[in-house]
Chain A
């Protein structure tokens, strides 16, 4: 498999040239996925199509009334088994901008208690009319189980430590938008923090290596466990780097992305203290100075300011964190739109 995102997508015809009144004709836009469960299956063409569709959605967001009828009459159910505000709201805004009917369900993961199983819940949601299911779950792989039984399209809104496809795609979009030249080829991207527990890091490994970035994952050795083995093989053979040295990761980086660190890591015996973490790995102004001048600062949110990222860095001139939030809506609109056009011959 060779994946490479083209640097100049503008030459292609717009994926929404038929207007945003209805879902796309897949024969015309060459989108072949019924679900979006992970980014590892996305080809160069797929990624390019998502980026171009996001461009179109960005344009919609600039209109006085940021709403198009593309998903009118479609029911999008947002089923979140994990607490989340920003991702859930981002999906909800995206679906509403496309005129979909949105149903929100906050569910509790019942692992021990014999509560309603995921299979039952998905069948119920479908019986209630859901045609698209946006799902977040604390167990890695859970959306694959949902996709096996759901008659419509499943969009993974984050599963366990495994994947957060829309986050990786909005990160890719934001980097391409903000980096001079609009390309990631050869650009050094450092992802800093709790890599072990991060679905954001895992999904970014696939998309950023596909885009040709020089990717570095960095954090305390306890939070990089297993990633040396992955780096040795690469993502579909595409190599990246793993280091516990923050200096090595940040030196001359074009993009620095800090990941959220959670208090639970201390009780699990993975870190001595948040204070020590902040001192050794926190993204401060001094550390950022090791990166290239004007390097982009990113964070998938929610942030612990003063721990993994200093407040003045998060709010500083190099920060594109609010762009990530805005682009998140556009990327999610693009994916809902592309998945809505699925027809019978589409693969998973």
Chain B
């Protein structure tokens, strides 16, 4: 791989004998790319003798990843993350487009807040595209609609009160109809809060042993059932109404979504890397992937770390091995449209406390690829489907609003928007290797496959590994 600054504004680059994955064309295989002055000039698929020894286990080139769900904390909590550090983390993770959640202080519930965020993104100089999600309700307080139309006018890509569900069914109904008429989805965080007051961990065996307040599966399933019932009603009057359910974590909720999709409801959903690969066993101190887990780390002596790590406190909580398997199955069969990080950076002050008092969230933009590749390496997910769920999957949820050039794929003649990673190498997650201010990940100290060598966003280098 050779990268140079180029003569004009963009980089020049040639990569030969790599494994290309292009979900837009449904193709993967050996190939090479040429980038000149930031433009993807040539994508060449190679065959026959030239393709010998080029496997999916080495250098992989894919379209830049799209994240539907990131918390950038600016404005209001810049100690945890800023727009600039969040975009740097995204680039390091291979993402070229990310959607920022509106639970900032103040909340993104009117256009003025968005102007500040866009100014910060421009000032950062990052090539990563920042898309914004507006709040459903004013101040995310759940009582009255935010400035939905004005926010749509300035380009938000959807509405969410994430961090909290839209508590009132009546407000959700209004939001689905109003946003639907604007052509935008409502992105709900499905949680029946009356069942989760004070909840700390997935209700079941592990939480019971550890004495943690149970967070029932039914709290997610009940919220999903409510949302789907309302959607079915609204969509009869407002055909443009669309619901996206984020960070779905349970088999029960995924079954409801699967049925709703086959009934033709306009619903999409995402799952997170941590709900695919981690389970509530980690709270007890086990550190094995969900597909290797038994659900009882005490019985098979697989406890290798201390219990109650606050880095594992997350909403929704890490679930059982069965639920993690259901998330993987939902990705494989298309029930889950996308992998979203739910990147939730926090300061040490908010995390270095008792488990039950720790802030919810995992810093996830930079570890998403490595965790997903662990699932691929273990045969849990085909590589092409994993890449699809990080690229065209979320782009479809966004209805074509991702990317300044309008397309997600290895498209000749367009500004290059791609990621290059090396599946034959690994990197270790440490506070120093993470570009995010949020060092709150349970993967600290762990080696992950697939370090990102290069991220090019809209024809500009967003991340280049120091030794690439």
Contact code string A222-234 (vs B, CB < 8 Å = 1, else 0): 0001110110111
- Is the CB–CB distance between A226 and B308 below 8 Å? no
- Is the CB–CB distance between A139 and B205 below 8 Å? no
- Is the CB–CB distance between A234 and B299 below 8 Å? yes
Tell me whether A140 and B356 are in contact in the complex, defined as CB-CB below 8 angstroms, given that A159-B211, A227-B208, A229-B205 are known contacts.
yes
Partner of A141, one of B203, B298, B352, B355: B355
Give Cα distance in the complex from A1 to B181, angstroms.
61
Residues of A within 8 A of B208 (CB): 225-227, 229-230
CB interface residues, A 216-269, toward B, < 8 Å: 225-227, 229-230, 232-237
* B409 at the binding interface (Cβ < 8 Å): no
CB interface residues, B 340-359, toward A, < 8 Å: 349, 352-357
Residues of A within 8 A of B210 (CB): 140-141, 162
Residues of A within 8 A of B301 (CB): 1
Shortest C-beta distance, B334 to chain A (Å), equals 31
Residues of B within 8 A of A136 (CB): none
Identify which of B214, B295, B353 gathers the most chain A CB atoms within 10 Å of its CB: B353
- Is the CB–CB distance between B352 and A163 below 8 Å? no
Tell me whether A236 and B298 are in contact in the complex, defined as CB-CB below 8 angstroms, given that A117-B352, A145-B308 are known contacts.
yes
Give Cα distance in the complex from A147 to B301, angstroms.
21
* A52 at the binding interface (Cβ < 8 Å): no
* A17 at the binding interface (Cβ < 8 Å): no
**Closest Cβ neighbor of A1 among chain B residues:** B301
**Closest Cβ neighbor of A234 among chain B residues:** B299
Give Cα distance in the complex from A161 to B200, angstroms.
12
- Is the CB–CB distance between B211 and A199 below 8 Å? yes
Tell me whether A139 and B296 are in contact in the complex, defined as CB-CB below 8 angstroms, given that A162-B210, A227-B208 are known contacts.
no
Contact code string B212-235 (vs A, CB < 8 Å = 1, else 0): 111000000000000000000000
Shortest C-beta distance, B354 to chain A (Å), equals 4
Identify which of B208, B306, B354, B355 gathers the most chain A CB atoms within 10 Å of its CB: B354
- Is the CB–CB distance between B207 and A226 below 8 Å? yes
Shortest C-beta distance, B439 to chain A (Å), equals 16
- Is the CB–CB distance between B353 and A118 below 8 Å? yes
- Is the CB–CB distance between B306 and A144 below 8 Å? yes
Identify which of A118, A139, A161 gathers the most chain B CB atoms within 10 Å of its CB: A139
- Is the CB–CB distance between A144 and B308 below 8 Å? yes
Give Cα distance in the complex from A273 to B51, angstroms.
75
* B400 at the binding interface (Cβ < 8 Å): no
The number of inter-chain residue pairs (CB within 8 angstroms) is: 88
Give Cα distance in the complex from A199 to B203, angstroms.
17
* A85 at the binding interface (Cβ < 8 Å): no
**Closest Cβ neighbor of B297 among chain A residues:** A236
**Closest Cβ neighbor of B201 among chain A residues:** A140
Give Cα distance in the complex from A117 to B352, angstroms.
9
**Closest Cβ neighbor of B355 among chain A residues:** A141
Partner of A233, one of B203, B214, B296: B296
CB interface residues, B 294-337, toward A, < 8 Å: 295-296, 298-299, 301, 306-308, 310
Give Cα distance in the complex from A226 to B310, angstroms.
22
- Is the CB–CB distance between B211 and A162 below 8 Å? yes
**Closest Cβ neighbor of A205 among chain B residues:** B209
* A29 at the binding interface (Cβ < 8 Å): no
Residues of B within 8 A of A66 (CB): none
Residues of A within 8 A of B298 (CB): 1, 40, 235-236
Partner of A119, one of B200, B353, B356: B353
* A202 at the binding interface (Cβ < 8 Å): yes
Residues of A within 8 A of B299 (CB): 233-234, 236-237
- Is the CB–CB distance between A226 and B204 below 8 Å? yes
Identify which of B295, B296, B308 gathers the most chain A CB atoms within 10 Å of its CB: B308
Partner of B354, one of A40, A139, A202, A229: A139
Shortest C-beta distance, A316 to chain B (Å), equals 32
**Closest Cβ neighbor of B216 among chain A residues:** A225
- Number of residues in B with C-beta < 8 Å to the partner? 28
- Number of residues in A with C-beta < 8 Å to the partner? 34
- Is the CB–CB distance between B308 and A140 below 8 Å? yes
Give Cα distance in the complex from A15 to B212, angstroms.
36
Shortest C-beta distance, A249 to chain B (Å), equals 18
Shortest C-beta distance, A94 to chain B (Å), equals 24
Tell me whether A225 and B211 are in contact in the complex, defined as CB-CB below 8 angstroms, given that A137-B354, A236-B299 are known contacts.
no
Shortest C-beta distance, B191 to chain A (Å), equals 19
**Closest Cβ neighbor of A110 among chain B residues:** B357
Residues of B within 8 A of A233 (CB): 205, 295-296, 299
Residues of B within 8 A of A118 (CB): 353-354
Shortest C-beta distance, B440 to chain A (Å), equals 15
Residues of B within 8 A of A119 (CB): 352-353
Residues of A within 8 A of B209 (CB): 40, 202, 230, 235
* A148 at the binding interface (Cβ < 8 Å): yes
Residues of A within 8 A of B212 (CB): 140-141, 160-162
Contact code string A7-50 (vs B, CB < 8 Å = 1, else 0): 00000000000000000000000000000000010000000000
**Closest Cβ neighbor of A229 among chain B residues:** B205
Residues of A within 8 A of B211 (CB): 140-141, 159-163, 199, 202
* A62 at the binding interface (Cβ < 8 Å): no
Tell me whether A145 and B296 are in contact in the complex, defined as CB-CB below 8 angstroms, given that A202-B211, A230-B209 are known contacts.
no
Residues of B within 8 A of A232 (CB): 205
Give Cα distance in the complex from A147 to B285, angstroms.
15
Can you show 21 pairs from A to B with CB atoms below 8 A apart?
A118-B353, A119-B352, A139-B356, A140-B200, A141-B308, A141-B356, A144-B306, A144-B307, A147-B306, A148-B306, A159-B211, A161-B212, A162-B210, A202-B211, A225-B203, A226-B203, A230-B208, A235-B209, A236-B298, A236-B299, A237-B296
Closest 4 interchain pairs by CB? A162-B211, A141-B308, A226-B208, A161-B211
Chain A residues with CB under 8 Å of chain B are 1, 40, 111, 117-119, 137, 139-142, 144-145, 147-148, 159-163, 199, 202, 225-227, 229-230, 232-237, 348
Task: List 16 additional A-B contacts (Cβ < 8 Å) besides A145-B308, A227-B208, A232-B205.
Answer: A137-B354, A139-B355, A139-B357, A140-B211, A141-B211, A141-B356, A144-B307, A145-B353, A162-B210, A202-B209, A225-B208, A226-B207, A233-B296, A234-B299, A236-B299, A348-B306
